[in-house]
């Protein structure tokens, strides 16, 4: 009878250990894949992310918003000319060279306005290049290999049946936390890209104010917002990279209980920090 009991116990232990290691290794594999996927998603330019949506946004901007921006530019140029004339004692001390300066500035403003989309794409090309380079470095140093789980499995083999059953139930929470993490990452990444499209659609309006010294703050803040939302992708990638390193340390710790609840805690922390990346990026670039 004792031999039969021992055999059943060992069989159940092997079954539970296999289930726990399956849950944990599946979680680590998911972490590895998410780091690589995020590097590709946040490093994609608006034109490459969805060509159909980008084409729609460009058509709306050029056919609807650009004429409005042209009117704004005409107002800004006229206002600056009047201001320039009044500054010189109602033209009593007027220098003809100022007219050439005004004409040159206006021509530059028209050139900037007509190349708005090229400027916007250049901003995201820069951020995409930085994110692509960082993605290769982060992904290469955060992979959780199968060798890291060997010590954890050895610890499980020395545990009794009761604790193993509890750990198996707890390890099942990993699937829920990773599911929640995937939802948060989806919302952040896709929400950021939609924000980029919204900013791009109205690009000509703030760009029309760049030539004026007083009103140019609107255009400058818009450019800072573009850089902020562009480099937000880098902050998202850094957050996920930090998460992967922390999970990597859990995998090598040999503590199954700590691995489970530590992963849950780090996942909650990551979700919170992902939502903070937008405000952090804007504060860095002084965009509001």
What average pLDDT values come out for the chain (288 residues) when binned by 10 residues? Answer: 64 72 66 68 80 88 89 87 71 68 86 88 86 70 57 67 72 72 81 90 89 81 91 87 74 61 76 88 87
Give the Å distances, CA to CA, from 165 to 14, 21, 132, 169, 202.
Answer: 11, 13, 43, 6, 57
Cα-only R_g, the chain = 28
pLDDT at 165: 74
**Other CB atoms within 10 A of residue 37 CB:** 15
**221: exposed, middle or buried (Cβ count in 10 Å: 0-12, 13-18, 19+):** middle
Task: Report how far residue 67's alpha carbon sits from residue 222's, in angstroms, rounded to the nearest whole number.
Answer: 19
* 8 Å CB contact between 123 and 227: yes
pLDDT score of 228: 92
For the chain, helix (H) and strand (E) counts, in that order, are 12, 0
pTM: 0.76
pLDDT of residue 15: 75
Q: At what angle do helices 116-142 and 216-251 cross, to 10 degrees?
A: 10
Whole-number Å distance between alpha carbons of 104 and 100:
6
- What's the CA gap between 15 and 8, in Å, rounded? 10
267 within 8 A of 181, measured Cβ to Cβ: yes
- Tell me the angle at which helices 97-114 and 116-142 cross, rounded to the nearest 10 degrees: 50
């Amino acid at each position: 009878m004792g031999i039969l009991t021992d055999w059943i116990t060992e069989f159940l232990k092997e079954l539970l250990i296999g289930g726990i290691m399956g849950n944990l290794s599946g979680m680590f594999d998911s972490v590895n894949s998410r780091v690589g996927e995020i590097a590709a998603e946040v490093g994609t330019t608006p034109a490459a992310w969805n060509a159909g949506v980008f084409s729609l946004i460009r058509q709306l901007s050029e056919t609807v918003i650009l004429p409005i921006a042209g009117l704004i530019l005409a107002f800004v140029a006229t206002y600056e000319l009047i201001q320039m004339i009044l500054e010189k004692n109602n033209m009593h001390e007027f220098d003809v060279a100022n007219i050439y300066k005004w004409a040159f500035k206006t021509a530059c403003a028209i050139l900037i306005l007509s190349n708005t989309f090229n400027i916007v794409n250049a901003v995201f090309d820069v951020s995409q290049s930085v994110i692509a380079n960082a993605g290769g470095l982060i992904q290469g140093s955060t992979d959780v290999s199968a060798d890291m789980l060997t010590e954890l499995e050895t610890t499980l083999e020395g545990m009794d049946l009761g604790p193993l059953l509890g750990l198996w139930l707890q390890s099942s929470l990993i699937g829920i936390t990773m599911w929640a993490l995937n939802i948060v990452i989806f919302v952040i990444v896709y929400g950021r890209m939609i924000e980029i499209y919204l900013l791009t659609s109205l690009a000509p309006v703030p760009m029309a104010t760049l030539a004026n010294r007083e009103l140019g703050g609107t255009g400058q803040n818009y450019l800072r917002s573009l850089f902020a939302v562009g480099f937000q992708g880098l902050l998202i990638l850094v957050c996920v990279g930090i998460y992967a390193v922390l999970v990597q340390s859990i995998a090598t710790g040999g503590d199954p209980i700590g691995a489970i609840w530590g992963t849950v805690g780090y996942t909650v922390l990551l979700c919170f920090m992902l939502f903070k990346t937008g405000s952090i990026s804007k504060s860095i670039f002084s965009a509001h």
